[in-house]
Amino acid sequence: MSRFRFLPLALLLASGLGGCGYFDSRAAHKAQRSMVGMTAYDLQACAGIPSSIKQLNDTTQIYVYTGTHTATTYSGSTLIPIADIVSVFKEFAGGGGTSCTTVIRLDHDRVAEVHYAGDDDEVIGTDGICSIITRGCARQPEGTMQKVDGGPFGPVSAFSPPKTPNQSTGATYSTQSGAVIVNPDRKSAAPIIVPRTE
């Protein structure tokens, strides 16, 4: 029986973290790692058609996705002023964001970087609103996505985005197979996108 004595506290903590954006933030940051290397076709299959596309040069494109989230409203009460308490908490703790702009850079039709901008923080964590854009890819991963392990509390943080690929991985992404090939001999960890040979 003693094994279960902390179960109610754990459930309360999990529901509180989920309701305040912790898990949304982790999902958004996990997508910044798992989506690197996926093809443009797979990206559009799970995230949808981007709201705008900018061609930077012959091999590089920027896809921009936008999403909005309706802010939660609380009704007032004469006994417990919940709306006032929530607004004061948001003022001091932050959060309460309603929009996200996701900027995805593709090199040779493969995702190279995923960035978030806008009023996209929830009460706990950062970039939580952006999970509405990447949710389809997280729920039904495409074959060219990377697997990011770690369970519900690691290795991705809810409070800071992961390092961009040129800072965290020493890998070469092949456009033919989608496999990530580790290259330990390189001085720089920037990803190299190998162009397709016809």
Q: Is 71 exposed, middle or buried (0-12, 13-18, 19+ CB in 10 A)?
A: exposed
Q: How far is C-alpha 1 from the geometric centre of its chain's CA atoms?
A: 39
Is the four-CA dihedral 7, 23, 162, 171 of positive or negative sign? positive
Q: Buried b / exposed e across 80-117, counting CB within 10 Å, b at 16+?
A: eeeeeeeeeeeeeeebbbeebbbbbbbbbbbbbbbebe
In 3D, which of 3, 46, 74 has the Cα closest to residue 133?
Answer: 46
Alpha-carbon dihedral 47, 48, 50, 56, rounded to 10 degrees: 70
Q: Residue 155, preceding bond cis, omega within 30 degrees?
A: yes
Q: In what order do the strands lie in the sheet with 180-182?
A: 180-182, 171-174, 192-194
Q: Give the length of the chain.
A: 198
Residue identified by tokens 């996108």 is 193
> Could you read off the pLDDT tens digit of each residue along the chain, which spans 198 residues?
455 454 444 433 444 444 568 889 999 999 999 999 999 999 999 999 999 999 999 999 999 999 987 765 556 655 666 656 556 555 555 567 789 999 999 999 999 999 999 988 888 888 999 999 999 999 999 999 988 876 666 678 777 788 765 534 444 444 444 444 444 444 444 445 554 454
Residue identified by tokens 């908490």 is 89
Angle, CA of 163, 46 and 192, to the nearest 5°: 40
Q: What is the pLDDT of residue 163?
A: 78
Q: Is 9 exposed, middle or buried (0-12, 13-18, 19+ CB in 10 A)?
A: exposed
Q: What is the pLDDT of residue 149?
A: 72
In 3D, which of 124, 130, 80, 125 has the Cα closest to residue 104?
Answer: 130
